[in-house]
Amino acid sequence: MGSREYELYRRTSEVYAKNGIKNTTMADMASKLKISKKTLYKFVNDRPELVSNSMTWKLAHDTKIVNDIIGKNLNAVAELYEISNFYCSNLMGIHPSIYLDLEKYYPNAWNQFTEYKNIFIYNIMFSNMKKGIIEGLYRDDFDVEVIVRLYTSKVDMVFDPRIFPVEKFKFSEVYLEMVNYHLAGIVSEEGMKEIHHLTEEVVPRHENELIAEFAY
C-alpha cells in the first residue's frame, strides 16, 4: 500500500467510525475528505471496495499497535491491561451502527473482521493466558482454549445492539465490563496484587476504569 493509499484509508476509516457506513455515500465521503468523487474513484470501484480497503488498513494498523505492546515484554496482566485500553480507546465515540452495517451489507469487510477476531485476537489471548500462568499471575486450573474461545465469542456480543441497545449501553463500557469479567475469572492472588499495583499508578481516568473494580 502506497503512502497516498495509506493516508486515504486512514481517513476513510475515521469517517466511517464517526458517521457509520450505510449512511455515508461516496459523495459524502469525498466531501469529508475534501476531494472530488472522481479522485475517490481512482482508488476504488465502489463503496464495498472502499469499506473493505478501509477495514484492511484499520486491522493492519491495530495489529501493529498490539504487536508493539507485546514487544514491551510486560507481564501478562499489564499486557492485557494495555491492549484492552487500546481497543477501548477505539470504541469511544464509534458510531453505533457500524458493526451491523458491516454484517448486513459488506460481507467482505465483515469476513475480514471475523478472521481478525478468530485468528489474531484468539492467538493474542491464548499467548497472554499461557504467559500469565507461567508467571503465576493467572490460575492454572482451567482449560485455556475453552476460556479463549469463550472470550472471542463474546466480542461479537459487545457490538450487537440487539443484545446491548445503543440507547442504553456504550460499546466501550460493555467492552470494559467484559474484560473485567474475564480477569476476575482467571487471576491468581499474585495477579490480584498486580492489578492493585496497576491501579495505584498514575493513568488517565478512562484507563483506570478498566481495573477499578478489582481495587477493593
CATH topology of domain 46-214: Tetracycline Repressor; domain 2 (1.10.357)
Q: Give the C-alpha separation, 98 to 23, whole Å.
A: 10
- What is the percentage of the chain residues whose pLDDT exceeds 70? 92
- Cα separation, 25 vs 113, whole angstroms: 21
Q: Give the residue ranges of DSSP H helices in 34-170.
A: 37-40, 47-70, 76-91, 98-105, 107-115, 122-135, 144-158
The answer to whether 144 and 186 have CB atoms below 8 angstroms apart is no
**CA-to-CA distance for 82 and 124, rounded, in angstroms?**
13
Which residue is it, cell 458517521? 19
Per-residue pLDDT of the chain (216 residues; tens, 9 = 90+): 678 899 999 999 999 999 999 989 999 999 999 999 999 999 999 999 999 999 999 999 999 999 999 999 999 999 999 999 999 888 887 888 888 899 999 999 999 999 999 999 999 999 999 999 999 999 999 999 999 999 999 988 888 888 998 889 888 899 989 998 999 999 999 999 998 888 776 344 444 455 444 433
What is the helix, strand, coil percentage profile of the chain, to 5? Answer: 70, 0, 25
Residue 19 phi, psi (nearest 5): -110, -5
Q: Which of 112, 123, 23 is nearest to 61 (CA)?
A: 112
Closest CA to 192 of 158, 168, 216, 165: 216
Question: What SS3 state is found at 29?
Answer: helix
The pLDDT of residue 123: 98
Please give the grid coordinates belonging to residue 181.
469479567
Confidence (pLDDT) at 213: 43
- For 22, the 3-state DSSP assignment is coil
Quote the CA–CA distance of 191 and 75 in Å, as a whole number.
10
Own/partner pairs, 150-153, CB within 8 angstroms, 24+ separation: 151/125, 151/178, 151/182, 152/117, 152/118, 152/121, 152/122, 152/125
Q: What is the pLDDT of residue 201?
A: 60
Nearest to 101 by CA among 54, 61, 64: 54
Residue-level pLDDT at 58: 96
The 10s digit of each residue's pLDDT in 104-161 is 999 999 999 999 999 999 999 999 999 999 999 999 999 999 999 999 999 888 888 8
The residues with which 27 forms a beta bridge, in sequence order, are: none
